[in-house]
Structure 1
Amino acid sequence: MTGEVRRAGAFALVGSLSLAAPFLGPAAFVPFAAVGLLAALVIDGGPVFDLFARPGDREDNTLYGLAGFSLAATGLALLVIVGFPPELFAGTVCLLAGGNLLQQVVIARRSGDMAPAAGFVAGGFLAGTAAQLLVTPVSLSVAPASAAFLAACGALIASLLRSVLYERDDPLVLLSVGLVLWVIADLGVETTPVEIAAAIAVTALLGYVSYALGTASIPGMVTGMLLALVTIVLGGYGWFVLLIAFFAIGGLSSKFRYERKRSRGVAEDNDGARGSGNVLGNSAVALVAVLGYAATPDPLSVAPGVFFFAFAGAVATAMADTLSSEIGGVYDTPRLVTTGERVPPGTDGAITWQGELAGIAGALAVAGPTLVLFETITLSGAVLIALGGVAGMTADSLLGATVENRWLDNQGVNFLATLAGALAAVALAALAGLF
C-alpha cells in the first residue's frame, strides 16, 4: 500500500464521522471542528502527522490538508441547523473521501488519464450512496433511487471541479458539491431504482463512447455525463435524445476534415476533443431549463411548455452553431456577418453559405425528432424550435463579430447565443399561442 493510498484511507476514516450526523443533529459539526482544531494547532509530528501529511504540510509542520477538509465539513455541518439534510451531509463528505480513496488505489495500479477519473467517480458514487442509505433508518427521508441519483450527480460535479482546481482546494469542492446537491434534492426527485440504474448505465456508456471516439476531453466527458444524467432523470428520455443528438453529431462534426481546419487555424484544440468549458457554454441554458421544468409544481401550468421550448431552442442553437462552424470552416471566402466583406478563414463573426446551410440542417435535426418524441409538439411547434435555433446561430455570429475576444471569450458567446435561441423559441411559441 502506497503512502497516497494510506493517506486517502485515513481521510476516508475521518469522513466517516459524518455518519453520526443524524444522531447529533445540530451538533453534527462538533467532531469535524475538533479534528480541524487538532490538525491546525496540536498535531505537528509523530505517526498521526506522518499519516495525514501532504508534501506541503511538512514544510510548516502543520496538517493544512486535514484542517481544511475538516473545517469545510464543519461549515457544511453547520447548515444542518438551518435545514441541510443530515443524510445529504453524510453523503457529500463520504463521496469526496471515498472517491479520493478509490482514485488513489487506481493510480497505484494503473497509469493513464481515464482510469483515475473513473475511479474517483465510481468511488464517490458508491460511498455517497452507501452513506445516505446507512443513515436512512434514522432520518427516514431518502429513497434508494434518490440517494443513487444525488450521489452520482455529486461524484460527477466533484470530479469536474477537481479537474480544474488543485488538490488543496478539496474544501472548496466539498462545500460546492454539498450546496448544489441541496438544491437538486429540494426539487423532490421521484424515480425508481430501475429508472436510475438505466439512467446511470446510459450516462456511463455515453461518457465512455465520447472519450473513446476522441470527441471530448476527460473534463468535457464528465461535464457531458452530468448534463445527460440530470436531463434523463429530471426531464426524461425524450429530452435526453435531443441533447445526445447535439453531443453525438456536434462532437463528430469537429472531426470533419480536421487537418484542413487545423491548417487554417479554425479547428478545435486537443484534436477536436471538446473540453468542459465548451460543453458548458453550449449546454448551460439547456441545463437551467431542465431544472426549471423539474421545479415546476403544477404540470398543467404554462411553465412546463416554456421550459421545454427554452430547452429545445437552446439545443437547436448549439447544434446549428456547431455545424455552421465545423462545416463552414473548411470553405473559402467567408464574409463578415455585419458588413458582408470578405475576411480570412477563422475570423470571429465570419460566415459561409455552406456553413449557414449546415447550421439550418442542424437546427432541423433537433426540431424534427420532437414531432415523434413529444405528443404535444405539432409541426408548427417543431418549425418554431428550428427558427429559434437559427436565430441563436445568427446571434452567435453577430456576437462573434462585435464582442468576442474583446469582452467575451468563445464560451461566453456560446452561452449568450444559446440563451438567445432559447428566448426566441419561447417568444415564437408564445406568439403562436402554443402555451
Structure 2
Amino acid sequence: MTTAVRRAAAFALVGCLALVGPWVLGVEEPAVATVAAIGPFLAVAAGALWLDSETVLFELFARPADRRNGTLYGLAVFSLAAAGLATLTVGFGMPTSVYVGTVLLLVFGNLAAQLVRAYRYEQVRATAGFVVGGFVAAAAGQLTTVQLTAESVGVPLVTFLAASGALFAALLQQMLHRRDDAMVLVAVALMLWLFSTLPLDITTTRIAVALGLTLVLGYASYTLETASLAGMLTGVLLSLLTIVLGDYAWFGILVAFFGIGGLASKFRFDRKLDRGVAQENEGARGTGNVLANSLVALVAVLAGAVSTEYGVSESVFFYAFAGAVGAALADTLSSEIGGLYDNPRLVTTLEVAEPGVDGAVTWQGELAGLCGASIVAAIAWFGFDGITLLGAGTIVFAGFVGMTVDSFLGATIEGRFLGNQGVNFSATVAAAIVGAGLAAMLDLPL
C-alpha cells in the first residue's frame, strides 16, 4: 500500500465521524446533539495542530507541505471545514444527509482515486475512480443518515445529489490545487443544499436515463477528444442537471451544442492550424470555454425548475435557454467554418481583415451560424408540442442576435476589456434576454 493510499484511507476514517451527528441527533438533547456533530471534528483539528511531527500518526496524515511545515495543516483545515458544515446543519437548516453525504463523498472519492493511481497512474482513470467512489459513498451516507434521522429524502433525489456532487467535486479538483479539499467540501455542500431545496419531482426512470446518457456523453467526449478532462466533466455535469431539472428536449438542445460544436472544432483542424485560427489544445474545449457558452443556459434551467413557484411561465426560461445555446452553437460554427475562408470583413466597418482577427466574419461563417441556430430551433420544435413556427423563429433570431453581438464585441472590446470567454458569455446573455423577452411579449407557449 502506497503512502498516498494510506493517507487517503486515514482521511476516510476521519470523514466517517460525520456519522456521529446523525446517530445522536433526535435521541439526545439539542445541545448534546450539537456537540456530537461538531465536537469530533474540532477535536481532530486541535490534535492535528498539536501532534508532534516525529509520531507515526503525523506520518500517516502528512502531505508533502505538512512535512515541510512540521504541522498537519491539511488535516486541520479539512476537519474545520467539516465542523463548519456540521454547524450549518445543526444551526442553519442544512439537511443532515447533505452534510454527511458530502463529507463521505470527498474522502472516499479521494481514496478511490488513489487506489486507481496505485494500480495505473492515469489522470482520466483516477478521476473516474473519484467520481464512482464518491458517488457510492455519498449515496450510502445519505441513505444511512435518512435511516438514522427519518429525513424525508427519496432514493431518486439521493442518487441525483450524489451524482451531481461527485461530478462537481471532480471538476473543482481539476480547477483547484489538490490541497484545497476544504474548499471543495464547502462548495459541493452548498450546491447540494441548494438543489435539495428545489421543488424537484425526480423519478427513478428519469435519474437512471440521466446517468446513462451523461455516461455516454462523457465517454464520447473523451474518445473523440472534443473536450479536455475538465471540459468533459463540466459538460457531463451540465447535461445531468439539464435532464433532471429541465427535460429530455432541453438535453437534446444542449448535447447538440456539445456534439456539433466539438466536431466543428476538429473539422479540417490542420488547415485551421496553418491559418492560425485553430482552437487551443488541439480543438479540445476546456472548462472556461464550456462554461462561457453554457453558464447562462444552466441558470435558465435552474430558474425554469422553480418558475412555477413564483408565478412565472416556464416557457420564458426555456426560450432564454434555447436562445443562449443557439447563440453558442451559431458562434461556434461561424468561427470554425468561417475561419476556413479568405477575405473576412470586420462586422463594424466591413473592411477586409486577416483570418482569425476578432470581429471579422465571412458570409460562409454567417450562413453556418444561422444553420447552427436553426438546428437548435428544429430540436425545440420537434421536442415540444407547444412550440410553433413563431417560437422556432424566435430561437433562430435570438441565436443570430447573440452571434452578431459576439462579433461586434470581438471587433470593439475583445483583448482590451474582455477576453474571448467573456465575449462568448456576453453574447449568450444577449441571446437569452432576446429569447426570454420575445417569449414574454408574444406569450409563446411551451
Structure 2's unaligned 5+ residue stretches are: 26-32
Decide which moves more: 38-47 or 13-22. Answer: 38-47
CA distance in 1: counterparts of 2:166 and 2:218, whole angstroms: 14
Shift in Å at residue 324 of structure 1? 0.3
Shift in Å at residue 21 of structure 1? 2.4
1:383-409: CA deviation from partner (whole Å, max 9, x where unpaired): 111100000000000111111111111
Other structure's SS at 2:63 match? coil
Shift in Å at residue 322 of structure 1? 0.4
In the alignment, is residue 55 of structure 1 matched against residue 47 of structure 2? no
**Kept after mapping to 1: 8 A contact 2:53/2:59:** no
Other structure's SS at 1:56 match? helix
Other structure's SS at 1:147 match? helix
CA distance in 1: counterparts of 2:98 and 2:126, whole angstroms: 25
Shift in Å at residue 189 of structure 1? 2.5
Aligned residue number for residue 12 of structure 2:
12
1:26-74: CA deviation from partner (whole Å, max 9, x where unpaired): 3312111110111012343311111101111112221111111101111
**1:226-245 to 2 correspondence within 5 Å?**
226-245=237-256
**Kept after mapping to 2: 8 A contact 1:228/1:243:** yes
Structure 1's unaligned 5+ residue stretches are: none
Aligned residue number for residue 205 of structure 1:
216
Other structure's SS at 1:429 match? helix
In the alignment, is residue 246 of structure 1 matched against residue 254 of structure 2? no
In the alignment, is residue 407 of structure 1 matched against residue 417 of structure 2? yes
Aligned residue number for residue 42 of structure 2:
33
1:252-281: CA deviation from partner (whole Å, max 9, x where unpaired): 000111111111211111111110111000
**1:260-409 to 2 correspondence within 5 Å?**
260-298=271-309, 301-409=311-419
1:265-312: CA deviation from partner (whole Å, max 9, x where unpaired): 11111111110111000000000000001122449x443111111001
Shift in Å at residue 112 of structure 1? 2.3
Shift in Å at residue 111 of structure 1? 2.8
Aligned residue number for residue 118 of structure 1:
128
Aligned residue number for residue 86 of structure 1:
96
Shift in Å at residue 19 of structure 1? 1.4
1:132-190: CA deviation from partner (whole Å, max 9, x where unpaired): 00111123222111111111111111111110111111111111111111111111322
1:62-106: CA deviation from partner (whole Å, max 9, x where unpaired): 111111110111111111111011110000000011110000000
RMSD over equivalenced CA pairs, Å: 1.3
CA distance in 2: counterparts of 1:430 and 1:303, whole angstroms: 8
1:327-347: CA deviation from partner (whole Å, max 9, x where unpaired): 001110011111111111111
Shift in Å at residue 193 of structure 1? 2.5
CA distance in 1: counterparts of 2:351 and 2:38, whole angstroms: 64
CA distance in 1: counterparts of 2:93 and 2:309, whole angstroms: 24
Aligned AA (1:103): A
Aligned AA (1:180): M
In the alignment, is residue 221 of structure 1 matched against residue 232 of structure 2? yes
Aligned residue number for residue 177 of structure 1:
188
CA distance in 2: counterparts of 1:170 and 1:201, whole angstroms: 28
**Kept after mapping to 2: 8 A contact 1:395/1:417:** yes
CA distance in 2: counterparts of 1:110 and 1:158, whole angstroms: 22
CA distance in 2: counterparts of 1:66 and 1:45, whole angstroms: 16
Aligned AA (2:180): D
Shift in Å at residue 431 of structure 1? 3.0
Aligned AA (2:264): S
CA distance in 2: counterparts of 1:175 and 1:57, whole angstroms: 21
Decide which moves more: 45-54 or 222-231. Answer: 45-54
Q: 1:162 aligns with which of 173, 192, 195?
A: 173
Other structure's SS at 1:254 match? helix
CA distance in 2: counterparts of 1:21 and 1:107, whole angstroms: 32
In the alignment, is residue 418 of structure 1 matched against residue 437 of structure 2? no
Q: 1:77 aligns with which of 72, 80, 86?
A: 86
**Kept after mapping to 2: 8 A contact 1:234/1:294:** yes
**Kept after mapping to 2: 8 A contact 1:43/1:63:** no
What is the TM-score when the length of structure 2 is the normalising length? 0.95
Other structure's SS at 1:401 match? helix
Q: 1:145 aligns with which of 135, 152, 156?
A: 156
Decide which moves more: 16-25 or 316-325. Answer: 16-25
Decide which moves more: 187-196 or 172-181. Answer: 187-196
CA distance in 2: counterparts of 1:386 and 1:138, whole angstroms: 52
Aligned AA (1:20): V
Q: Identical aligned pairs, as a percentage?
A: 55
Shift in Å at residue 359 of structure 1? 0.1
**Kept after mapping to 2: 8 A contact 1:333/1:342:** yes
Other structure's SS at 2:179 match? helix
Other structure's SS at 1:168 match? coil
Aligned AA (1:16): C
Other structure's SS at 2:266 match? coil
Q: 1:195 aligns with which of 192, 197, 206?
A: 206
